[in-house]
Amino acid sequence: MDGVAEDFGGNAGMDRAALQQLVRAQILVNADLGLTLGPAEVQLQGERATVRFSAVATGGGRLLPDRAQAQEVTSGWRDENGQWRLYYAEWRPR
């Protein structure tokens, strides 16, 4: 979680702690977790960037279906003392 800003915000008011719990739950529950990313569209605005891409998550457990699940992702990044940190992410089914 080093690359995630302290003030992260995501879907439905998700904060950094909730994102960390979501990632932990996915790893614990899905034995064969996989993620394939599509081409990224990057827009730089000074010390900030917006990155849009598609992602296909695969799993095989209780939280992810055995088949692929596609998402459209928009993420916001900012340069904090020479480190790019994720401060915003939104994803929705494709």
pLDDT at 25: 85
Which domains does the chain carry? 4-93 (3.10.450.50)
Name the DSSP letter for residue 50: E
In order along the chain (94 residues), what is the average pLDDT of each group of 10 residues?
A: 96 95 83 86 97 87 63 97 96 90
Region class of 13: left (phi > 0), else alpha (psi between -120 and 50), else beta: left
